[in-house]
Amino acid sequence: EVQLVESGGGLVKPGGSLRLSCAASGFTFSNTWMNWVRQAPGKGLEWVGRIKGKTDGETIDYAEPVKGRFTISRDDSKTTLYLQMNSLETEDTAVYYCTTVRWTTLFDYWGQGALVTVSS
């Protein structure tokens, strides 16, 4: 059974940093592309970024609003995905989900989400 469990969310001041983790199990993590998607309170879904699997070079793509501030990485030995968030802004307040990616495009399995609140 595929499981994705996010952790690391919390309250942080504007300009601060936070790192989210997504512990994965139940599938071959190293070759699986992974996403981060976020959802501001009461709002819609927004893609944050994606990291490809080992056989595809672990290339990373980011959405424009987070480029230069957020960094996606993975540790295949720990089957864990990370999202390092720097220079946080109040607009980054959201629930952050990690997802698996099927066939390079479909977001098929999702974690339960981690709430990040950016506020002074």
Among 54, 64, 47, residue whose Cα is nearest residue 106 = 47
Report the half-sphere exposure of 85 (CA within 13 A, side-chain side). 32
Q: Kindly state the smallest distance separating residue 21's Cβ from another protein, in Å.
A: 16
How many H helices and E strands in the chain? 0, 11
Closer Cβ to another protein, 29 or 62, answer by number: 62
Q: Kindly state the smallest distance separating residue 31's Cβ from another protein, in Å.
A: 20
Closer Cβ to another protein, 47 or 76, answer by number: 47
Q: Kindly state the smallest distance separating residue 111's Cβ from another protein, in Å.
A: 7
- Per CB under 8 A, 111 contacts another protein: yes
Alpha carbons 31 and 110: distance in angstroms, whole number: 17
Q: Is the CB of residue 39 less than 8 Å from the CB of residue 95? A: yes
Near another protein in 15-74, by CB under 8 A: 35, 44-47, 61, 63-64
Interacting residue ranges for another protein, rule: CB under 8 A: 35, 44-47, 61, 63-64, 97, 105-108, 110-113
